[in-house]
């Protein structure tokens, strides 16, 4: 990732990205993710073992998230998990992680790319789960929209595609949320 893109992600303090090489079982962490997990940012940017990612997850959630990771890697499917971190910078944080496995021509998983959103600041006592999710989605979409022009400058069609796909997915989530009856949203 280009230095300017890393800077924008790091500045957001609530969105991070990962990319896992399934063959080597190493994971690159960028943006806010190293801090959320308590992983050294320089090491995280060049790749750390998946175990370092798991070590950053709160013990109550670690086994469940490890099982979800293994399932996504095994099936070359999606990865979705909400969990608490283990108290990196800023202490224990609540996050939502979403990713997708890229498969080769034979359907074998090769890479997993995803986004993590720090939901901690959106968790107010008087807010419903749906309202918290909507605020979190809004924050991520704002960050992605801010990053998108930088990716164009970098000239990476893969990063542009990932951001566009992520924005599309968030649009789908927003549309699904808007389709729910008002009593469920408030």
Q: Tens digit of pLDDT per residue, the chain (186 long)? A: 445 555 665 566 778 889 999 999 999 998 888 989 999 989 999 999 999 999 999 999 999 999 999 999 988 888 889 999 986 666 788 898 988 898 888 888 899 988 888 888 765 444 566 676 777 777 777 777 777 777 777 788 888 888 888 877 777 666 666 555 544 444
**Residue 135 main-chain phi, psi, to 5 deg:** -65, -40
| DSSP at 93 | -
pTM of the complete model beyond 0.75 = no
**CA-CA distance, 122 to 108, in Å (whole number)?**
37
All structural domains of the chain, each given as residue ranges with its CATH number in brackets, are 3-185 (3.30.450.20)
Let me know: does 53 contact 70? Beta carbons within 8 Å.
Answer: no
**Residue 98 main-chain phi, psi, to 5 deg:** -135, 130
């Amino acid at each position: 990732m280009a230095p300017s893109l890393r800077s924008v992600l790091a500045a957001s303090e609530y969105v991070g990205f990962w990319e896992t090489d399934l063959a080597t079982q190493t994971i690159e962490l960028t943006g806010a993710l190293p801090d959320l997990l308590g992983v050294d940012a320089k090491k995280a940017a060049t790749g750390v073992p998946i175990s370092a990612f798991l070590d950053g997850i709160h013990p109550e959630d670690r086994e469940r998230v490890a099982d979800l990771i293994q399932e996504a890697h095994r099936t070359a499917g999606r990865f979705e998990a909400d969990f608490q971190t283990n108290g990196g910078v800023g202490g224990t944080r609540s996050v939502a992680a979403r990713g997708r496995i890229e498969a080769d021509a034979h359907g074998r998983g090769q890479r997993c790319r995803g986004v993590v959103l720090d939901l901690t600041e959106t968790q107010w006592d008087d807010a419903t789960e749906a309202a918290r999710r909507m605020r979190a989605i809004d924050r991520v979409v704002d960050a992605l929209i801010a990053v998108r022009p930088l990716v164009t400058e970098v000239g990476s069609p893969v990063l542009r595609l990932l951001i566009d796909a992520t924005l599309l997915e968030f649009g789908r989530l927003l549309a699904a949320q808007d389709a729910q009856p008002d009593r469920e949203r408030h």
